[in-house]
């Protein structure tokens, strides 16, 4: 889908304004090399999107397979708090995917719109890990772990899985799932059908999502915003700028690429690869 270009003249129009926040990518705290959505870089942009007295609505453009529940919650609750305080409606427009934490973000809105191909839902919680016990045995490595506190070590991938660890993890996942369910029910309210079990991680596509009540209509941002608020509505984007490659390699500074920075960049290649694999796995869960 081609990205819309917002006209700079919109900054100076005196008519009604709609603020746009783009929420693209997996959700997490993110490293220097990742393109994840997280709260800290978005906080000021969200505040600014609601700040003007001319703002008639805030539009969230969402394309996310989910990720961190905490980061999803921090972003969604800030948006909802400002919307309620300033009495500004929020509209979510979901593109390829709004799943798991991506759907949690969409539920910060008063209305949710989808494309006919949007994959949306996945109201559940997942924890994925790996076991490397056999691998380290083959190369002659022994794992040594010492803790102060019986519950300090949980699901160590280099040790055999313990039933008590699995039980503790299940308790954590259930607690997060319950909060996710409460957030969705609080957002969607009577638009949910009591006969449908929405909370087992299922996803729906396009119009079907509207039919079951987890979205409100099939539609796209610009036509809907112009129709609702007028052709003269100024659409201003408040999404934070993505750092360039040099900024990522040098930790966000403007310093020249010194030998130290180059060494750091080389050492970070493995980190970048792992981050890319993890993010790719999130998208792949939904066929993207």
Tell me which of 19, 34, 72, 100 is the catalytic residue. Answer: 100
pLDDT > 70? residue 254 = no
The tens digit of pLDDT for each residue in 188-247 reads 999 999 899 988 888 999 999 999 999 999 999 999 999 999 888 888 999 776 654 444
Average pLDDT value over all residues in the chain:
78
- Strands (E) across the chain are located at 17-24, 55-64, 90-99, 111-114, 119-121, 203-205, 217-218, 234-237
Range 1-122+202-244: architecture per CATH:
Alpha-Beta Complex (3.90)
pTM: 0.76
Q: Domain locations in the chain?
A: 1-122+202-244, 125-187
Assess whether 100 carries a catalytic annotation.
yes
The tens digit of pLDDT for each residue in 43-74 reads 999 999 999 888 999 999 999 998 889 999 99
Classify residue 62 as exposed, middle or buried by CB count within 10 Å of its CB (0-12, 13-18, 19+). Answer: buried
């Amino acid at each position: 889908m081609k990205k819309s270009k917002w006209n700079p003249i919109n900054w100076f129009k005196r008519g009604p304004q709609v603020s746009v926040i783009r929420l693209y990518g997996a959700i997490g705290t993110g490293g220097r090399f990742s393109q994840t959505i997280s709260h800290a870089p978005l906080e000021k942009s969200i505040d600014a999107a609601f700040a003007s007295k001319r703002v008639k609505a805030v539009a969230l453009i969402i394309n996310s397979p989910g990720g961190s529940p905490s980061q999803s919650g921090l972003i969604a609750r800030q948006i909802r708090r400002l919307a309620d305080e300033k009495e500004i409606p929020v509209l979510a427009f979901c593109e390829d995917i709004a799943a798991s934490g991506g759907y949690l973000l969409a539920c910060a809105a008063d209305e949710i719109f989808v494309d006919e191909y949007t994959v949306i839902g996945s109201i559940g919680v997942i924890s994925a890990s790996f076991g490397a016990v056999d691998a380290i045995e083959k190369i002659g490595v022994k794992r040594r772990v010492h803790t102060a506190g019986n519950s300090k070590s949980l699901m160590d991938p280099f040790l055999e899985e313990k039933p008590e660890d699995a039980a503790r993890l299940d308790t954590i996942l259930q607690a997060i799932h319950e909060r996710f369910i409460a957030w969705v029910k609080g957002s969607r309210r009577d638009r949910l059908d009591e006969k449908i079990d929405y909370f087992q991680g299922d996803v729906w596509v396009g119009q079907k999502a509207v039919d079951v009540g987890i979205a409100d209509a099939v539609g796209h941002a610009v036509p809907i915003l112009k129709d609702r608020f007028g052709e003269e509505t100024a659409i201003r984007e408040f999404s934070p700028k993505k750092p360039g490659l040099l900024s990522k390699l040098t930790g966000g500074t403007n310093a020249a690429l010194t030998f130290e920075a180059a060494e750091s960049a080389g050492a970070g290649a493995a980190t970048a690869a792992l981050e890319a694999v993890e993010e790719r796995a999130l998208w792949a869960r939904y066929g993207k």
